[in-house]
Structure 1
């Protein structure tokens, strides 16, 4: 298991300050670097890592420390330098070494440590008999257990975020054809980007409940450790059971509005990415996104030019991005940019949180669809509504699935399907033509997000549209 400790400081930790922090274990410990110097490791005399420290990140986006760490007061105002240390608890001194490292940075630079109780400035001498501690099977700072089938990350944070640590672990597991499996207590929640990353089979969120054993935090399936991986425990009929602890929590009246859209653009040098997402954000919240990044914390102020430059440098490899909103309006999006033979595709999922007394802006969906179709290369857009947390985090219990509100086809998709077919579904629907008369987009209103039968309507609609004339 590992322990994460974060130093939040108003000034960048310079080399001298980092060295002072690394002296937390006294003069007998060594230092190593990974990832071309992006990760510094405090090591035992035999070279095995005790604490891994990521290069400091300047978080310029307001509200990120509150969103991810729950810090409401005492944290330095943004911009803030975020320095994360990850300690191995296989060695008893690991967690205290990480706390002393972070505490020294915060003391010198005038910041704070999360969690606060981890902070100290004490020298923590290594007294554990290192020769009696098994050498870890992985060199990745994020992975606690590595088998031929799975890379297991054990987290005790209240909120598991898609950090660069975790992103690297996911990338490594995917490359090696392993499952990424995150083990947490039942009180832990996930951010939406983390949940998105775990949706791909065979990745899994493993919840360790003290009374109910292990279960999948997204499906509820009872799990056991078998053959080097967590897998569903099947009965004599080969059926998986659902853990009692996964039963639905109380409905607080909070909801999430989910916009899933795809755009397609020619791959030319004038293309600027992110504008479709920006248009959606403006329409639904009145402001642009606050920031973007490839991991959490989201550290860069919103810039369509910068994210376009990043995607262009990475092409033809895909680029995955996160965008967040301003603190007073919970909103988060994931964007996947892919170069295809047809051009450049953006797959975007934007989720907005609404409290019990807040009304989701369903009235703005059709105008948004028209704008995206006319100006941003919309291929398709599905809008849905669900009962779920306003803060956009994912708890380890059942949440009702989203219910479709509307579906939109862009003009190119309508042309491929045939306009007459798109306008005459064999259902009690009255499609709306959007945009140009000769090359319209088509919008289908499916309901208000309260009737689950809208899924049946959507299924019949998509089957009709998929039929070849």
Structure 2
């Protein structure tokens, strides 16, 4: 049974609708609030949280709800109200379903997953006193130890929701690992994968036949001293789970761009134009929306995202942007204030089916425009065999293969023309018609793994004093 239930309604849940939902457990349960009222909790008589409900989010980005739920949803704006049930109490999942079902009934909406919807009163019959009190007030965390916060997710696609984003910030602040436990059928969104890429954070797959293993590396895991850690033999070696094997190559591919821009810290600086330029060159349209978590709910606005980054400075800002529904495109943006100015670290991924051709012929023009108008420092493009929908399965995937690398004109000048233009394996190509232009290097066609060796030689040459 699912532990996360979402009500999708055409109207914002008002107080009467929320009260109708909160009576899912009858009059004996209590209500608590967290995060200055942004989270409402349905609690047992002793105050133990059973269901946590996040403040409703208005999603105005077409296709976003369908992308995350892997379920058909209309393109009209919809209010997303997410309820997360405690995994420690048997009735909590049904309480979450009844809460969402009541909201949908009152407001004329739908519930995800559909089978969770009900309007029944769910009485609390579990002996709460026999269950240890939770050690954390974070709604997303199911188990907290001295070293690790464990989050159990059984939804098909694990997104970087505000729940998980809050858990990630909390664990980082307390020097803990964040470990997300899912069934083997679950997949991650790219933002979630990025958040879990660095140890000690992990994606822990619970396989009924193979036990626990790391969903990104395949290492067999076990629970030891309050955390999931690799199983090692007498020599200290780890082994991979049998389930973590590459499947036969499919024809889907992903085009990946990793770029950095740098700008002077001026009052009139507007961020996001480099990403918008990349979207226009590669998809024919600007991003559809942006946000600081998934679901991405705000229509694209460079002005609004700049205001947010400025308000948070000098602390960094992390953002997500998505494309139109007809072309899978997803980007993460990390805005940093550095001694050199304001930098944007951008990773953009686009998905293509077997009958679609990635627009590699647009990369040079894109790189030239980024350099001339948007403060390009570096741009690396790569291709990989991977899912068109940009989701990450718990199995071995082929790594991306570099195709081109571009050095912005300021960076090329800093390195020195003699070294930047003339390489052991050939010269860099100038982009643009002015004296100060970017240098563009071709590494391969996206099918030859030796492109990694060429890229390593290039970067080593450019860094040599």
Q: Structure 2 length as normaliser, TM-score? A: 0.99
Alpha-carbon distance in structure 2 between the residues aligned to 1:173 and 1:302: 30
Moved more, 85-94 or 103-112: 85-94
Residue of structure 1 in register with 2:7 after alignment: 7
Alpha-carbon distance in structure 2 between the residues aligned to 1:91 and 1:455: 50
Counterpart secondary structure, 1:239:
coil
Matches within 5 A, 1:31-430: 31-72=31-72, 75-427=73-425, 429-430=426-427
Alpha-carbon distance in structure 1 between the residues aligned to 2:427 and 2:77: 50
Alpha-carbon distance in structure 1 between the residues aligned to 2:197 and 2:88: 29
1:437 positional shift:
3.6
1:440 positional shift:
1.6
Check the 8 A contact 2:139/2:163 in 1, yes or no. yes
Structure 1's unaligned 5+ residue stretches are none
1:76 positional shift:
4.8
Check the 8 A contact 1:261/1:348 in 2, yes or no. yes
Alpha-carbon distance in structure 1 between the residues aligned to 2:251 and 2:367: 27
Check the 8 A contact 1:9/1:76 in 2, yes or no. no
1:122 positional shift:
0.8
Check the 8 A contact 1:417/1:465 in 2, yes or no. yes
Alpha-carbon distance in structure 1 between the residues aligned to 2:443 and 2:120: 62
Q: Structure 1 length as normaliser, TM-score? A: 0.98
Counterpart secondary structure, 1:264:
strand
Check the 8 A contact 1:64/1:297 in 2, yes or no. yes
Counterpart secondary structure, 2:427:
coil
1:435 positional shift:
2.5
Check the 8 A contact 1:207/1:214 in 2, yes or no. yes
Counterpart secondary structure, 2:303:
helix
Check the 8 A contact 1:76/1:111 in 2, yes or no. no
Counterpart secondary structure, 1:373:
helix
Counterpart secondary structure, 2:239:
coil
Please say if 1:463 is aligned against 2:434. no
Alpha-carbon distance in structure 2 between the residues aligned to 1:2 and 1:33: 23
Q: Residues 155-174 of structure 1: CA distance to partner in whole angstroms, max 9, x if unpaired? A: 10000000000000000000
Alpha-carbon distance in structure 1 between the residues aligned to 2:386 and 2:90: 39
Residue of structure 2 in register with 1:443 after alignment: 440
Check the 8 A contact 1:10/1:76 in 2, yes or no. no
Check the 8 A contact 2:2/2:155 in 1, yes or no. no
Check the 8 A contact 2:288/2:321 in 1, yes or no. yes
Counterpart secondary structure, 1:244:
coil
1:2 positional shift:
7.5
Check the 8 A contact 2:87/2:142 in 1, yes or no. no
Counterpart secondary structure, 1:268:
coil
Q: Residues 368-421 of structure 1: CA distance to partner in whole angstroms, max 9, x if unpaired? A: 110000000000010000000000000000000000000000011101100110
Counterpart secondary structure, 1:444:
strand
Counterpart secondary structure, 2:232:
coil
